[in-house]
Amino acid sequence: MGERMKKPLKCVAIDLGASGGKVIRGSFDGTRITLKEFYRFSNNPIQLKKHIYWDALRLFEEVKKGVGAVGKEPGDTIDSIGIDTWGNDCCLLDKDGNLLENPHSYRDPRTDGIMEKAFEKMSREEIYNRTGVQFMQHNTLFQLYSMVLDKSALLAAADTYLMIPDLFNYWLAGEKCCEFTNATTTQFFDPYQNTWCEPILEAFSIPGNIMPPVIKPGTKLGNLEKWLCNDLNIQAVPVIAVGTHDTASAASVVPAQNGDYAFLSSGTWSLLGAEVSTPVVNKAGLSHNFSCYGGVCDTFLVWKNIQALWLLQECMRVWTKEGLEYSYEDLVSMAGQAEPFGAIIDVDDHIFIQPGDFPARINEFCKRTAQKPPCGQGAIVRCIFESLALKYRYTFERLQDVLGKKLSKIYVIGGGSRNELLNQFTAQAIGVPVVAGLAEATSVGNIMMQLLTLGEVGSLDQSREIVRTSFELTTYEADVTQNWDNAYQRFLDLITRSSTYNQ
């Protein structure tokens, strides 16, 4: 890393997730990185008639407030800015660069039944072999194909296609391009040719001429737009395209020292996977419905999406509307005291895809699968956590099959890494040590990519060394009991019997 300048380098990470966003400044002194959160805001999808949208303009205003808050820090400077968001969702611009409509949420029902129609155009096997992306109804391919089938005037009028972080980078720095890690989530990107997959675009009548160039993570997009500098009263700071897919950023700083591990990015979604040096797209991946997405620094990430704390978030939303105010910590404590190994659910069942009354839906799932529903908030939360741990074991076993090797440890990163009860359940259910920490992994990965781009850090290995030095980790030892093995057999039977099981 060499000699550091006297003044610490200050990089701003904008981390925009499906439930909220935050603006964090990372200070790097040459050895350690320290974080300071300046701004946090909610991200609530907007229901309008039958559709669900993201309020992009409001979110950009929140981003501006966050960057402005960092700029107002006395005696502070900003050396660079980077933004990451979730994957899959997209937007369309007209020829003048104007947003044609607010982006649809990936939970929008417009993709209901679209996968089945898509397979009439191209087989599941061919789509997977060309892209390496797992099949989920919210994939960008199915979002755009739903517009094609609806003969959307917006798609016909579009001049430029962008993913969500690309839209914000365009508003920040004025450059229209798609960053690699997010582009790979679309299911119409070719990881072998490193470009948009023309055979898929043509098969589904998606206009290829609206697709912008794809850039590598670590590309300098230019300086913050002049009007923004004036508006926020800050300097013309460089905007860097980091690993704009939040999981790619998070996975880049998993504090491991060898490659024999899995990562579990735990939050609204859980992403359980591993880092590889070349694309892994094989029969096992197709059979188990795994993705091979792009990572930073010429890596790829083999993983599977699992609906996770989304279920708890929806339960909390319902309870709050009913006047039952519980903190996250309260509910975890109540779950710890609840009776173990009651009802088991499949967190990826179709009934849990769209927002709604999740306590009632859990009850409905249990009745459909001939189980006694959990009674009370603590029992419901424990049901979610135990079911998640069992789904993690199921996915971990299949990840090893896809990779063709055994993995000896799991690193839990992201907000869910603070959940000690779930971490312990995960170690017990799977039977390998679980190392948890780095709750702000996405922001840290965002910042480390900025430092790599600025030449202050030389490699991913150095990034991870800095992370190990800078943040505390907790290890949960595997303590497999017969109870967990019995519960896992129940889980396997459950997903075999459930006619709606979604691999």
Cα separation, 225 vs 223, whole angstroms: 6
Q: Which residue in the list 246, 346, 348, 349 is annotated as catalytic?
A: 246
User: Is 94 designated active site?
Assistant: no
Q: Which of 227, 241, 342 is nearest to 294 (CA)?
A: 241
Start-to-end Cα distance in the chain = 44
Of 238, 384, 209, the C-alpha closest to 308 is: 384
The answer to whether the beta carbons of residues 43 and 54 sit under 8 Å apart is yes
Which letter, b or e, does each residue of 412-421 get, where b requires 16 or more Cβ atoms within 10 Å of its Cβ?
A: bbbbbbbbeb
The 3-state secondary structure of 112-174 reads CCHHHHHCCCCCHHHHHHHHCCCCCCCCHHHHHHHHHHCCCHHHHHCCEEEEHHHHHHHHHHC
Backbone angles phi, psi at 441, to 5 degrees: -55, -40
**Backbone phi, then psi, for 14, in 5-degree steps?**
-100, 115
Q: Tokens in use for 58? A: 């409001």
Q: Can you tell me the distance from the alpha carbon of 99 to that of 103, in angstroms, rounded to the nearest whole number?
A: 9
CA geometry: angle 479, 481, 482, nearest 5 deg = 165
Residues with a catalytic annotation lie at 246
